[in-house]
Amino acid sequence: MGRTLRGATALLVGALLLGSAASTSAALEGPPPVDPPPVEITPSQTPTPEPSPAMRTGEEVLFNYPVPGTADLSITDALVGLIDGTPAGESIVLSYFVIQPGHPVIDALLRAYSRGVSVKVVLDSGDGQKAKKNGAVDAAYAKLAETLGTAGDSFARQCNRSCITDEPDSINHNKFAAFSRTGDAVNVVFQGTGNLRADGSGDSAYNAGVILRGDQTTYQQYLGYFDDLYSERRVDQDNYHLWRPPLTSGPVTAYFFPRTDKTDTVSASLRSVNCTSQPTTVRVMAPFFSRKRVRNTLRDMAYAGCAVQVLARQDTMTRDFCDKLDTRKVAVKIAPSPTKDRVTIHAKYVLVDGSYGGGVDQRITWMGSHNFTDNALQRNDETFVQFADATVSNAFSQNFDRLWNDPAMSWGCSRAGAKDNAAVEKSGDTEVTKIARRSQTAKRALPKALRERQVLRPVRTAQGRKITTRAYCKRAGAPSKMRKQYRCRVVKGKVLPRVVIRSDKPLRVRIVQSAKATKRLLPFKRSAAYRYVPKKSRAVRL
C-alpha cells in the first residue's frame, strides 16, 4: 500500500555550493569535480499564475510498496489526479522514457485535452538500442499523437535517441510532468523515479515521487528544459550544464542532464559532505550502479568517518564493482532481480544527514530519473532534484529503512551478479525486465546477437587467415513510427578472399552485404552456409 507523506518546507537552505570548501577529509585525493554554485534568482517575469494565500504550496512525497504479482498504483494515481485536476485553459507538459499502452496516464492526458487543456508530451522512441523499435513505446505514442497531433498548442513527439545529444545508445530517460495549475495549486512539478508501466521498472517495483507546488522558479526551469527536449537543442560538448546551470529556489535545486564527467553532480555533491565535524550518515539507493567516480567517493567517505549505506540490485551491479566499495567500511545490501515472484528497487536517491556544504545538522535529499551510470551522466536526458528540506528527508529516510530491513535484501556483495559494467550501462538504458517481456506482448525482443552488435562468428578464409565480421544496425527505410525492420551493415576484415559465413541462429534482420560500395540485401536462414564472392559483390548459398 502506497504511503504518502506531506509537508511544507521546513528547512530553508540558500544557494548550496556543490564542491564547496568543506571537504570530506584528507583521505579524499585531488580537487573535487564541481559544478559552478547554483545561482539564487528572483522568480521569472513570465506571466504565470501567482499563488494566492489560499493556494497550496510545499512538497508532497510519494512511495509505492507493491507485492509479488500485484502492482501498487499509488504514484500513478497521484499523477493521474494532477492531470485530472488541471482545468481548461491551463497547460501540462510531460516527458517520460516509457509509457505502457493502456496506462491510465494516457487516458488522463486525452481527457485533459478534450476539456481544453494544452497537453504537450515528449517521449523516447525506444529502449536505447539503435536498431530496436520498442513496440510498447510506439503504441503509446501513436495513440497520443493521433489525438494531440505532432505540433501546435498540444502535441506528442518522440526523440530518436536522447533529445539533447545524438550519441549512440543515448535515451530520453526523463520521468517528470509540470502543470501551470492543478487543483488548489499553481506552478506544480511532478518528479518521479519510475516508468509509466506495470512491470519491474514501474508500478511493480519500489519507486518514489515528489510533487512540488507553488515554486515558480523551479517550474520555469522545467518548462525551459522541456522546450529544449522538444526542439532537440544541441549544446557544446553535449554538456547541457553549460546551457542551463542549476538554480536554487528555496530548498529546491534541479539538475538537468546530459553533462560531462567533470561535472558529475552526484560525486560533487557527496564531496561537499564533511565526515569529520559531526556524525554524518549517507544512504544511497542505486538500482543501476556502474559509475566508478561515485563508488570511489562513497568508499572514501566511509574511510573518512561517514556511515555509508548502499542498497543496490542483483542484476545491475557486478561483483567486482561491489567489492571495490569495500564492505568492511561501506554497508551494502543487494535487492533481488525483478521477476513475477520478486519485487525489487527502482527508485534512485541519495540522502545525507549531518554536515554538508559548510553547515551542520543538514538533511539533504537528491532524487529523480538519474541512474549512477556513465550513460546517465554523459549521454541521457535526465533530471536529478535536490531538496534541502527535513520533511522530505524524513520521508525518504523512512522509505530507505523499510526497504533496507526487508528480508529479501541480502547483506554483502555475494549476490551482485551483473555480467560486466557494459551490461549494467545497457540495462540502465533499456530497463527491460523478465516480467516486462512476459507481460508486454507488444515489445519485440531484439536477438541477443544484435544487442551485442556482433551477428556473425569469426570465420576462416580459404587461405586459413582468420577475420571477424561485425554488423552495425540501424532502422531500415523511412522514419515510420511503426516500422519493425532492422538493417545491418556488415563490416569485414581487410582480407577479402572466399569466406564462408554461418549464422548462429535465425536472425530477424536483413543483412546488407557490402563490397566495393556495392550493397545487396541478404536474408540469413537458420543453419545455412554462404560463400562470399568479393568480385561479384554477393554471397552465394552453398
Q: Please write down the HEC assignment for all residues of 251-280.
A: CEEEEEECCCHHHCHHHHHHCCECCCCCCC
Q: Which strands sit side by side in the sheet containing 252-257, from one edge to the other? A: 39-40, 247-249, 252-257, 382-387, 359-368, 349-356, 281-285, 307-313, 331-335, 410-411
Note whether 348 and 322 are within 8 A (CB): no
Instruction: Give the strand pairing for 175-182 and 185-192.
Output: antiparallel
pLDDT, residue 248, reads 93
Structure-block grid coordinates of residue 323: 567489492
Structure-block grid coordinates of residue 347: 527508485
| Beta bridge partner(s), residue 363 | 353
Give every CB contact of residue 313 below 8 A, 6+ residues apart in sequence: 286, 287, 288, 289, 334, 335, 336, 337, 344, 345
Residue 390 backbone phi and psi in degrees, to 5 = -65, -35
245: number of Cβ within 10 Å: 15
Instruction: Give the strand pairing for 470-475 and 486-491.
Output: antiparallel
Q: How far is CA 239 from CA 159, 221, 368, in A?
A: 18, 17, 19
Note whether 471 and 488 are within 8 A (CB): yes
Give CA–CA dist 109/120, Å, rounded. Answer: 9
Instruction: Give the strand pairing for 39-40 and 118-124.
Output: unpaired
For the domain bounded by 3-14+51-427, which CATH number is listed?
3.30.870.10
pLDDT, residue 379, reads 87
Say how many Å lie between the first and final Cα of the chain, rounded. 61
Structure-block grid coordinates of residue 26: 584528507
Can you list the residues of the chain whose pLDDT is less than 50?
A: 1, 3-34, 36-47, 51, 127-133, 432-542
* Mutual angle of helices 74-84 and 104-114, in 10-degree steps: 10
- Residue in 496, 535, 482 with CA at minimum distance from that of residue 136: 482
pLDDT, residue 53, reads 55
Strands (E) across 357-397 are located at: 359-368, 382-387
485: number of Cβ within 10 Å: 13
Query: Taking every pair of C-alpha atoms in the chain, what is the biggest distance, in angstroms?
Result: 85
pTM: 0.71
Residues of the chain with CATH 3.30.870.10: 3-14+51-427
Give CA–CA dist 290/516, Å, rounded. Answer: 41
* Mutual angle of helices 135-148 and 104-114, in 10-degree steps: 10
Note whether 365 and 372 are within 8 A (CB): no
Block residue for cell numbers 568492511: 328
Q: How far is CA 71 from CA 64, 77, 168, 524, in A?
A: 9, 12, 33, 41
pLDDT, residue 164, reads 87
pLDDT, residue 449, reads 39
Structure-block grid coordinates of residue 477: 527505410
